Structure 1
């Protein structure tokens, strides 16, 4: 059995493979197409590797990045154009095993894909597994390691049960927000897209966020024009003071990107935004709202929406061209990059994962 690779030039075939799965929005060709080139590097391009056949297969989308963009690559490598590295979709990705496929197919895939990477000059591979699909459990051969806990809400429960499973401090904050003039609802107004973008951009500037979280307005425009996302905004006296981008399909919704004007934080605008986004997705028939994870302060806020739902986010790191990896890491260190932080791959400037 052999593997096959696809690019977005093979969009129709890629979509056919995707449609055979219950995979979620982060694994779709539309989302990877939207993300690639806007995420961290201009050279990003979405690709798919499939191992198996229609009766049982592994589906693995990822983003490929050139190494020529590294300032030291040309001096270090005799042919830098021949090499690249890959990362999973963001927030979640990793390979998925189709329903009914034998577990042994996952190990066969790992070997086949490693051979593919070595042949194609893919130096390293960073995997973000999907806690909603729990695909880390099926791909032991990729040596997944636990990274952090995540929070999700079971939207199939009745509203009273959902409310009872909020932490008390969160219920109080939502009640406080509901007693103000804040209004939270979905929007398709282009002017409000721009208003949210301004708030989001200001928030990233205030946090001195990495490029990982800085997107041009064109990225949001493309996302909002697709069927992958919904923008929920909070208004105060008619002015947009916050927004939450929810990436979703018919079954699962993700708290994707969110920001609010700090002048209105005392009104508990973030609590009401998240509550409104959750209930909007529940009204649409979505089964789960995934708050994902985050650093301690962020995680504390998110777990206020569920005392029950928890997941485990795992990552994987693989080196397919060891000699090239070592050479690039040494060159990165010589160029002033701290290669001992644990960030992977070590030869790139650290970004949030």
Structure 2
């Protein structure tokens, strides 16, 4: 298990609480991301091809002296992460491959090993339409970025080699969603453009911590309300199918008028179920046989991640979402996990979703940041129609939907 060797992985261990804000939405609605639609109808979105784009040939390694940045073979991907104690769900091969169904490209794990330590970087390599031999890189939906392990992980050298690798491979830009629990944005060398977003919330699960007493008073009342309504909660590890959950999730996204991106294709749920297997934890609240609310979580010791969730109208009225996340935290505490990462607000904002999460553990803020790297400024500006390089706003600018 990754948890057995996790002390070798660079990760901040101090207790920090995370929270998610709440605005015009009710608690139940706040539990799910909603953004203005991009203009496409939901039918068109559901019909989008769920596929991984045919990749360019594998790129060559970049090296300096005896140190080399190498692309890890797929069969070695997860064993490598486990060996160095960095087997977080969002870095695993199965997760990255499933994320390629949302942002099509080729899944890739880069690795640098030196005497003082190692660095791994999971990403998606995307071809740029109409630009032969040009591509860009992005971390999968969720959290990621270069992660170091060992007493002196060569983070700075990794970024140097990665820059050379990108130039030789025709990679124009890289967008990094840094990992709040690894806090790896803090290891980015000077010169790497890092932007801080709104925080995420991490809920500590120490054995002597009274989870219920630590809730915001409003959330304690909501949990009591859900229990009084007769909701029964069940936790399933490694569920064989996510189809019922997916239907509830889509119902929720429709009610919230969510952005098309959040209407995930059926193949995505199947890929998650097959790719993450025993790491998936599904927490469901029911009125008899009626699924009222559910949360899809990932358990990779020492952490439990809340990924996405859904609720129907009856569950919303009964505050089922509050009970589901509370019971997920209890499940994690019973299994001696250290943190329940609830994530942040929609689009990295301190919105109602953020405040909803924050009320589970008001002191749980974790810094959320993104990194924007341009490896070929001339091509980037040409593709984006910019007279000079600018990094603010949508990135990469040449993929902006506007």
Instruction: Map residues 102-117 of structure 1 onto 2, 5 A cutoff.
Output: 102=153, 105-117=154-166
| Whole-angstrom distance in 1 between the partners of 2:261 and 2:220 | 32
Q: Match for residue 305 of structure 1?
A: 360
Q: Does 1:316 align with 2:316?
A: no
The structure in which a higher percent of residues are helix is: 1
Q: Match for residue 87 of structure 1?
A: 138
The total of aligned residue pairs comes to 326
CA pair 159-176 structure 1, distance change in 2 beyond 3 A: farther
Q: Match for residue 336 of structure 1?
A: none
Q: Match for residue 5 of structure 2?
A: none
Q: Match for residue 400 of structure 2?
A: 349
CA pair 172-192 structure 1, distance change in 2 beyond 3 A: farther
Q: Match for residue 204 of structure 2?
A: 154
Contact 1:242 1:259 (8 Å CA) reproduced: yes
RMSD: 2.3
Deviation at 1:187, TM superposition (A): 3.3
SS state of the match for residue 233, structure 2? strand
Contact 2:238 2:278 (8 Å CA) reproduced: no
Q: Match for residue 71 of structure 2?
A: 6
Task: Pick from 72, 95, 102 the counterpart of residue 39 of structure 1.
Answer: 102
Deviation at 1:313, TM superposition (A): 0.6
Post-superposition Cα deviations, 1:2-44, rounded to whole Å, max 9, x if no partner, equal 333326xx123333431233321111223212322x1233xx1
| Whole-angstrom distance in 2 between the partners of 1:330 and 1:203 | 38
Q: Does 1:121 align with 2:170?
A: yes
CA pair 16-186 structure 1, distance change in 2 beyond 3 A: closer
Deviation at 1:189, TM superposition (A): 9.7
Contact 1:58 1:106 (8 Å CA) reproduced: yes
Higher relative contact order (CA 8 A, sep 6+): 2
Post-superposition Cα deviations, 1:166-207, rounded to whole Å, max 9, x if no partner, equal 111100110111111111112369797322211111222333
Instruction: Map residues 202-221 of structure 1 onto 2, 5 A cutoff.
Output: 202-221=251-270
Task: Pick from 194, 203, 207 the counterpart of residue 144 of structure 1.
Answer: 194
| Whole-angstrom distance in 2 between the partners of 1:33 and 1:115 | 25
| Whole-angstrom distance in 2 between the partners of 1:116 and 1:175 | 55
Q: Match for residue 125 of structure 2?
A: 64
| Whole-angstrom distance in 2 between the partners of 1:195 and 1:249 | 24
Contact 1:5 1:47 (8 Å CA) reproduced: no
Deviation at 1:89, TM superposition (A): 2.5
Task: Return structure 1 stretches of 4+ with deviation > 4 angstroms.
Answer: 188-192
Q: Does 1:182 align with 2:245?
A: no
Q: Does 1:171 align with 2:234?
A: no
| Whole-angstrom distance in 1 between the partners of 2:342 and 2:230 | 26
Contact 2:74 2:93 (8 Å CA) reproduced: yes
Post-superposition Cα deviations, 1:264-306, rounded to whole Å, max 9, x if no partner, equal 3120011011111111222222111001111410011001100
SS state of the match for residue 305, structure 1? coil
CA pair 188-94 structure 1, distance change in 2 beyond 3 A: closer
Post-superposition Cα deviations, 1:230-254, rounded to whole Å, max 9, x if no partner, equal 1111111221112100012121011
| Whole-angstrom distance in 1 between the partners of 2:360 and 2:234 | 19
Q: Normalising by structure 1, what TM-score?
A: 0.85
SS state of the match for residue 355, structure 2? helix
